[in-house]
Structure 1
Amino acid sequence: MSHTGTTSDRLTCAPSRAVRELGLKRGEFELAVNLGLIRTVPDERGGGPRVALAEIDRLRSGDGLRDRVATVGTTEGAKLMEVAPTRFTSLARYGLLIPAKFYLNRYRAVVWLYLAEELRQFAAEGCHARLLTARRTPSEIRDALKAGMDRRPRNWRGRHIGFLTRQAGDDPWARAAAVACLLDPADVADIVRDPRERTRLSRCRPRLPAHGAPGSPGAELAETLMTASEPDEVAWFRADLAHSMETARRHHPVGDALSPTPSAEPDPLVPLPAPSAGPDPLVPPPAPSVGRSLPAPPPGPAADRSASTGRTPRHGLLSRLRRRHRRPAGSPRSYRITAG
């Protein structure tokens, strides 16, 4: 018995076909969606997001979609900006260059990737000339780096929360889950005390980039990078989660007709899954441009919140204990972070 396709099936296509039609790699397609360059629509039958055929036609008629999602590492990025790789790394660690992606190489070293288009724009702005051409890196940057500053993980999280909240759309629970997935589970449990609400957040949780099998050293390192860690950053995300939960409860409280009924009592510290471009009320501010006088290090997300909610517990302790319990005896733990 044949089934006639829905209107959505006739006017849209799966991401796999869109990748072929647009001549992109899968990673390039996903980044373009995250950046808002490719618009997706929900599947009428409850499947994953789809791409309208009209959207594919629009993108084909435009110029340089692949160039807009091209990413480079440290060596290529330094060449684009005509600086030494060490200078490039200093600017990135200080927070002036914001990563778009990262991956772990075979040695479990973190390799950061940047949008080539953004690097060209940074280098072309006259106010950055001193940063790029001065014989020595400005003393403010040198002092911060000597103290151990590395804003690359934090800037990646700030960008990724924008990706996630854009994908969540107008669903208040999905937006709350997007914030929760970048927090330590202990922080989530402290803010969201009702286990039914945590279950609902888990069901709405967005998919975060995978880096190795669950429980592997690579996956644990990626989890660390994708979890807010600096005190003011954690305070900002906690405040944002509390605000998002108030909105979600007001619109669709747990137990109403639109809420699924949890099948079982969840673990109160079950890790919630996670993760932008364009302004979003939930997105931490981007790193500032540098003018004639070098500013202080880029402000953290907490700078845009006048108050945080509650105290901040010891972040990651419970998670580390759980991970240690899962790790087989003698399994490797070491890793290093690079600018690559």
Structure 2
Amino acid sequence: MTVKEATRTHPADETAPLCLSAGRAAQALSLKRGEFDLAVHLGLIEAEPATNGARPRIRRAEIDRLRASPGFPEALRDRVRTAGTAEGATLLGVSPVRFTGLARVGCVSPVAFYLNRYRAVVWLYLVDELLVFAAKEPDLLVGKTPAGMRTMLDAGTDRRARNWRSRRIERLLSRTEDPWARAALQASALDPVQLAEVVEDPYERAYLARVQPDSAFGRPGSVSGREALLRLILADDPDEILWRRVNLTLELEHARESRPAPLPGIDPVHRSVGGRRVAAGRGSVSGWTGQVPRRSGARPGVMRGLFVRAGLRRPGRER
């Protein structure tokens, strides 16, 4: 069965596939693979939850809905149209240098990237967002660079990677309610040393790695692409590292309250016995010690306790 036949078959036809693979869905929607992946990430295309590292699949009904929408396929392609620095500068009517400066200070944020033939990162921006920015901030496009912006640029400020990380993490957080998956998304931006300082239990760290969504930062196929991805996914600014550590601590507390991280070979379903977490049906303590952590808002000294749990300073002596 061809893609067109699959997508045009009446929903009641049981011979048509209920879902299409990412490649066939992209073809049916007249999208390039990168456009399709971006549309799924932005929530423009509703995908079935991916499992075991598989690529997302799209229900036939969703493809039918998109194909029947006004202006298809041009309207859908326009919503995922991206521009690099040169094209973005042309759209805003500024020089590439001015555009890069606006991006570095965070006036516009990249939504994706690719590597050019020199293996340098090329940031991509949503055209719709660039046009909205131009309409809202016309004064930043003409005349001299504002003093505050110039100070930031002279100091070497570059928020492009940070903003790219943040918008991807926030988007993925909005698509999952599982507490361990949410903690894993926060952990994905921390290097192993930072992560170990916040999450001391190696079984918890292993579980975070296991439940982290594979699509957190895309999946480039080339070796150089994977190397670039590894460089870009990690927070490198002290403020960002602090923010991720604090958020990981909060998400981790909620995850521990919902269920403990399973030990190897032990059923992840647990019950509570005398304040300890015990593997259901196993009759032995699963390695969990102490009471279930309380939420930080349940006691005084919230910020102090939060920073201590995030490993950012030693607890003071109680008086």
TM-score, with length taken from structure 2:
0.73
Correspondences of 1:280-319 after superposition (within 5 Å): 308=307, 309-312=309-312
In structure 1, distance between residues paired with 2:139 and 2:168: 29
Contact 1:18/1:56 (8 A) holds in 2: yes
**1:23 corresponds to 2:30:** yes
1:130 maps to amino acid? D
| 1:1-340 equivalence runs, <5 A | 10-42=17-49, 48-62=55-69, 63=71, 64-125=75-136, 128-134=137-143, 136-167=144-175, 169-207=176-214, 208-210=217-219, 219-255=226-262, 257-258=267-268, 308=307, 309-312=309-312
- Greater RCO, 1 or 2 (C-alpha within 8 Å, sep 6+): 1
Displacement of 1:258 in angstroms is 3.6
Contact preservation (8 Å) 1:103, 1:211:
no
Indicate how the Cα distance of structure 1 residues 46 and 26 shifts in structure 2: closer, same or farther if over 3 A, else same.
closer
Equivalent in the alignment of 1:297: none
CA distance in 1, matches of 2:211, 2:310: 24
Give the drift of 1:220.
3.8
User: Secondary structure of the equivalent of 1:103?
Assistant: strand
Q: Larger Rg: 1 or 2?
A: 2
What value does the CA root-mean-square deviation take over the aligned residues?
Answer: 2.7
Segments of 4+ moved more than 6 angstroms? 43-46
Counterparts in 2 of 1:211 and 1:60: CA distance versus 1, 3 Å? closer
CA contact (8 A) 1:234 1:312 kept: no
1:77–1:259 Cα change, 3 Å: farther
Question: 8 Å contact 2:35–2:77 — kept in the other structure?
Answer: yes
Task: Quote the Cα distance in structure 2 between the aligned partners of 1:96 and 1:183.
Answer: 25
Higher deviation after alignment, 106-115 or 10-19 = 10-19
- The number of residues matched between the two structures is 257
**Cα separation, partners in 2 of 1:99 and 1:246, compared to 1, 3 Å:** same
- Tell me the distance in 1 between the aligned counterparts of 2:45 and 2:76: 9
Runs of 5+ consecutive residues of structure 1 not aligned to the other structure: 1-6, 262-304, 314-340
Q: What's the secondary structure of 2:174's corresponding residue? A: helix
User: CA 1:74–1:46 in 2, change beyond 3 Å: closer, same or farther?
Assistant: closer
Deviation at 1:203, TM superposition (A): 1.0
AA aligned opposite 1:60: R
- Which SS does the other structure have where 1:102 is aligned? strand
Shift of 1:210: 4.3
Contact 1:187 1:312 in 2 (8 A): no
